Chains A and B, each alone.
Chain A
């Protein structure tokens, strides 16, 4: 249940990025989460709902977008969407010498505010 601490960190990152007045106006938080991470979107949403009441984000909701994993093949150089997760292999040449493009990360992409 690390979604609870991920929700806590999400809130504190937003509290660092925006003023109290701005936080109050946030209606929606758009989050991007890699398909390869172990996060369960429903659990993150539940954790966020449980925590937001105590914060200035109480009126906001979470929109979680699961980002497909992209692979760079070290053998043939192609870039592709990983289609055999959790196994990471190149769909072009079949090599398993592949790197995940970018990091397996969780990102706050944007917020939507009322003006």
Chain B
């Protein structure tokens, strides 16, 4: 028996595709944001509130990941924003999006039609965290109907995220949700993570979220003098 050293990253093909894609997004002046969360945290509802609030100065494009169905893509198709749906069923029902699939979806869009590309990942906090999507930043959405201990249970998703958006904050009082404990847990995993509390239902906090998105787009496009 002979041992041969290989020393290759298993995900190197995805990492390469993601790096290339990030370069393309930057070159086209599109700020790409990957949204990760558990199912039902309100990613699509958040986008329904966000897209009109960014208009008209910032237009959105959406890549919508789902294992099956295009329900979410249909919900977002009422806005004047291009939506491309990726169903992972043909790829074995995968629970995450990969850079190559996002590349293909992005090629179906006209990048002159939007300034921010939202990549709505599959609702799952484990798998998407392992696969670089090519986005500039990652956001993790968590709702107050979930536990305060989510960051400790799914550390990689919180470690990889730049911002934590805490949704359904209008329900905090009914639920006895311990917001400081959630923030403390998230900071234990990722000391630098930013956070915002919002309600996609009542609209509370959406202005701050939109402000964060505008700031990130300005940074990418060179201080907002585009």
Binding site for B on A (CB under 8 A): 1-2, 4-6, 9-10, 12-14, 17, 27, 31, 36-39, 85-89, 96-97, 104-115
Given contacts A9-B13, A38-B127, A114-B1, contact A96 B187 (CB under 8 A): yes
Which of these binds chain A: B3-11, B28-36, B75-83?
B3-11
Contacts of A39 in B (CB 8 A): 130
Nearest opposing residue in chain A for B91, CB measure? A5
Nearest opposing residue in chain A for B191, CB measure? A96
Given contacts A5-B94, A13-B12, A106-B11, contact A112 B1 (CB under 8 A): yes
Selected contact of A17 from candidates B8, B14, B154, CB within 8 Å:
B8
Nearest opposing residue in chain A for B12, CB measure? A13
Number of residue pairs A-B, CB distance < 8 angstroms: 100
Contacts of A4 in B (CB 8 A): 92, 94
Contact of B7 with A108 in the complex, beta carbons under 8 Å: yes
The 3 A-B pairs with the shortest beta carbon distances in the complex, nearest first, are A2-B127, A86-B155, A106-B10
Contact of B1 with A6 in the complex, beta carbons under 8 Å: no
Contact of B4 with A31 in the complex, beta carbons under 8 Å: no
Selected contact of A1 from candidates B12, B95, B98, B155, CB within 8 Å:
B95
Contacts of B4 in A (CB 8 A): 110-113
Expressed in whole angstroms, the minimum distance between the Cβ of B148 and any Cβ of chain A is: 14
The answer to the question of B210 belonging to the interface, with a C-beta cut-off of 8 Å to chain A, is: no
